[in-house]
Amino acid sequence: MRASVMLHLPALSITNQIDKLLYGVSQLGIAVRGVYGEGTKSIGHLYQVSNQGTLGASEETLIDKITQIVMQIIDKEKSTREHLMKNNYDELEDDFYRAYGLLTNARKISADEAMKLLSLVKLGSEMGITPMVKGKNIYELMICIQPNNISTIEGTDISIKERDKKRAEIIRRELLR
């Protein structure tokens, strides 16, 4: 059995603590992968955390272990956010508003750039810095703007350039309503 949890870890990523954390949990038999699983990188500061080994352990043991480690990662993310808020508020506020400005004014945007900027806007909202996105489902928007989803919405296979334009349009519409 594989137990898996998706985590949004922007503060740990921004402060370059994520690699050290990933190495530490790998020593405990936990894998941290990108959004799309093994061999993929993180996009939008989203990480998939799951157990590596499954032989000889009960489901309860695996779930308890992953839950314990995920809770520690969440605590580390929270404490890093508090540290950023206390020591880097002006820079954070500027980064969050710049991200919002780009997202609400861009006429074309790649999936990678959009995910990174949406992650920043979400972090700003969660930290109470960017109130204009409060109540908006940023995760849902992150899913909606993925390349295959845009092609599905359009009902046809479209060029990368057209997809980037459609992505920007979707983001503007969702964030400005």
- For the chain, what is the HEC assignment? CCCEEEEECHHHHHCCCHHHHHHHHHCCCEEEEECCECCCCCECCEEEEEECCCCCCCHHHHHHHHHHHHHHHHHHHHHHHHHHHHHCHHHHHHHHHHHHHHHHHCCCCCHHHHHHHHHHHHHHHHCCCCHHHCCCCHHHHHHHCCHHHHHHHHCCCCCHHHHHHHHHHHHHHHHHC
Give the pairing of strands 46-51 and 30-33.
Answer: antiparallel
Q: Average pLDDT of 2-8?
A: 87
Pick the range with the lowest mean pLDDT from 22-26, 79-83, 141-145: 22-26
Q: Average pLDDT of 50-70?
A: 82
Q: Average pLDDT of 52-56?
A: 69
Residue whose entry in the numeric block shows the structure tokens 């530490």: 24
Note the pTM of the prediction, 2 decimals: 0.88
* pLDDT for the residue 78: 97
CA 146, 152, 153, 155 torsion-angle sign? positive
Residue type at position 177: R
d(CA 47, CA 123): 15
Q: What percent of the chain has pLDDT over 70?
A: 95
Measured in degrees and rounded to the nearest 5, phi and psi for residue 107 equal -105, -15
